[in-house]
Every structure is written in C-alpha cells, then in structure tokens.
Amino acid sequence: MPDSGIVKYLVKLRFEVDGVVERADVIGAIFGQTEGLFGPEMNLNELQKSWKVGRIEINLESKNDKTRGEVIIPMSTDIGTAALIAAAVESVDKVGPCSARFTVGAIEDVRAVKRKQIVDRAKIIVRDWSSKTSSEGENLLKDVTESTKRAKVINYGLENLPAGPGVYSSDLVYLVEGRADVVLFLRAGIENVVALEGTSVPDSIIELGKKKRLIAVLDGDRGGDLIEKELAQVVRVEKVIRAPPGKEVEDLTPIDVINMLRAEKVEPLSSSRRERSAEKPVPKVMEEAEEPVVAKTRELFSSLNGTLEAVLLDQTLQEIGRFPISELVQKMEGTSGAQYLIFDGIVTQRLVESAAKVGVKGIIGHRTGELNQVPDDVRIGTFRDLGLE
C-alpha cells in the first residue's frame, strides 16, 4: 500500500487486458490516454508534481493470455477531483496494442480509516489505564473488604439459587438477576442477597417474600423490565432499584452498588453484619472528657463530608494534616504528634492498627467495619454517634 501520510483518498480500479502486458504498459496507458482530457491543471503529471497525486501502484497477474490486476491512486485533492480522475482512468480502453477494460472499485476515505484507527487505539489506551489505575473510592473499598471476612457464594432453596450467607439471618434481602450480581454484592460487603436465575420467579423466592422484606436490584435493560413485571405478579417487593439504562448490574463496581443503594435511601449492609459488629463492644469518643473532640468534629464535618479526605489533629486539636483517604496510612505514619483522626470513610481493623502505632488515641469516621481488636487506649466513634448524619 502507498504511504497515506498526506493522502485523503485512495482511488481503486480493477482492470482486465486481452493480452500479456507489464506494469509499465499499464502506467503508460493511464498517463497517455488521460492527458489533455480536462486541461493542464487536471493532468496526472501536473498533479503529481504538485503532490496532489502520489505514486500510482499497479498490481497485476498474467494468465491464459489475459492480464488482470488493480490500480491504486493515492490523492490529496477534494472528492470531486478524485472522482473525475477515477472516471478518466476508467475510460482507458487500450494498454499497448491490447484491448482493456478499467472499472472503478472504490474511492476510500483514508481519513475515515485513520480516525477509526485513532479511536480504536484510544479505547486500548483507556482500557490499559483502567486496568492499572484505581480510584480513591476503590482503594477505600479494597481497604474495607480486606479488613472484613470474605463471604462465599452459597446455594439457597430447592433451586440451589446463588446467594450470600446473609440471606438467612437478615430481615432484608436483595434480589438480583444472576450469580455474577451476587458475587458483586459480596465484593461490596453485602451478604443478604440472592439471585433469581431467570425471568420466572422461583418458589423459594416467593416463600422468602412471605418472611422477609425484599428489594430487587435489576439490570437497566429489557430483561430487567420483564423480571420487574414478573415479580410484581407473584411476590411482594418493597422497592425496585434499576441499574442505569442499558447497563447490567454486573457491569458496575462495588462502590457503584453501595452508592446506588444509598441514593435510594437503602442501608447497603445487612442487619446480620451490623449485629456482628455490635457484639464486639467498641469504645466511643462521646464521653464527657472528650467533648472538645466532639465539638471539633462537628466543626469539621461540613468540610469533610463527601470528600474522601482525612484530617489529623494534635493534642490541642490543631489541624496538622489533611489528605486523601487513599494516602491516609502512608501520610499518618509520616506525621508526628497526631492524637485524633477525623475522616470521610470507614473505620477498619487495619486503620485502627496503623493509627495506634503512631499514637492516635481517637478515630471518628462515617461508620465502622468489623473490628476484631481495639487497643484499650483508642476510642472510636462515628458521625452518626454524634448526630451528624
């Protein structure tokens, strides 16, 4: 193929010659029989001199006293000129002494091909970037899931439906479409979930609806529409939450799922998870001796809420550091004199251990994960404890 660095169009013609000819014969016929047809400005020689026509490429094969092949003419003119040259070459009826027939096959827009190549390459770049980069929210979620017990998919009911272990202990159960959705919910720390595995509602789900509150989380496509209608006919569902139009639930990230449920004012975590957390007595910051910390937290809340940031305070409650949660452990270890940590996130076991190592005595976040061990001199609280949410 010719170099298409400055080429706009590739004019392609097929030809057949009644005899054996060489490339030079075909080139000579094209230049000779088109010369002077439309004046000097449309002469192929002149167009080549002005770089409007590139090197003409001829591919041919001779067999049984006939020569067949293809002509490729790269052009940087407008489409009208390209079409006129194509028609002119198509009028060539002899190559040397032999009769010939030329037929325009296509005029390809090289820029369109190049645009597609650029778009395809851009998609690869974005995909590679996405696979190597995680958002701050994903880092936070990873921290949470690593510090809690990882649940496995179990089977539920006579139909062996994919489910999370919380389906038995929670009074609220999420209904999703398939096993991949169950896995996604478990990655988000949501164990009270079971899959329908089809548009027909299983008997086990119908019975489940008689004993527990049900919330359906369905795909944003036609399949989700059908399942929503089927559910409405056979089982009592408290709420139906749909993925964005055209998207499937399994296409979302764990953080997307949690945010989607919160947007619908649904508590993402199962009651069983909350009960297990409550079984472990956790010291609170809301003690009379810590009232100044409570007041400082109320002061900081509006500037922290929703930012995924953390603030470190010294013994006098002066701010000595503010940074993204994704950098929290690293920054905290490099800061001296930190006594209190107020942050827009979840208090995890790993965070408690890291904070205790650098002398932090009080931690306040949005909520707590599953804490297995808390040092006696570390007090922990949540914004909800303080009536801030």
State pLDDT tens for residues 147-156: 444 568 999 9
Would you place residue 6 in the very low, low, confident or very high pLDDT band (cuts 50, 70, 90)? confident
Say if strands 239-242 and 379-382 run parallel, antiparallel, or are unpaired. unpaired
Q: Smallest Cα–Cα separation from 229: which of 196, 261, 200, 197?
A: 200
- pLDDT mean across residues, the chain: 83
State the pLDDT at residue 285. Answer: 43
- Beta carbons within 8 Å of 241's beta carbon, 6+ residues apart: 215, 216, 217, 218, 260, 261, 264, 266
State the pLDDT at residue 274. Answer: 44
Domain annotation for the chain: domains and CATH numbers: 9-112 (3.30.70.2690), 137-276 (3.40.1360.10), 280-382 (3.40.140.20)
State the pLDDT at residue 133. Answer: 53
pLDDT digits (tens, 9 = 90+) for 101-143: 999 999 988 888 788 888 888 888 877 776 555 455 555 555 5
Q: Smallest Cα–Cα separation from 289: which of 193, 201, 362, 367?
A: 362
pLDDT digits (tens, 9 = 90+) for 267-319: 555 444 444 444 444 444 445 446 788 888 888 988 888 888 899 999 899 99
Residues 18, 62: Cα–Cα separation, whole Å: 10
Rg (CA), the chain: 35
Query: Global pTM?
Result: 0.37
Q: Smallest Cα–Cα separation from 76: which of 56, 58, 55, 54?
A: 54
- Beta carbons within 8 Å of 36's beta carbon, 6+ residues apart: 43
Which position has the token pair 């944003």?
A: 220
State the pLDDT at residue 227. Answer: 92
- Section 206-210 average pLDDT: 91
- Beta carbons within 8 Å of 261's beta carbon, 6+ residues apart: 190, 217, 241, 267, 268
Distances (CA, A) of 201 to 28, 59, 93, 161: 76, 64, 72, 11
Least confident of 43-47, 224-228, 247-251: 43-47
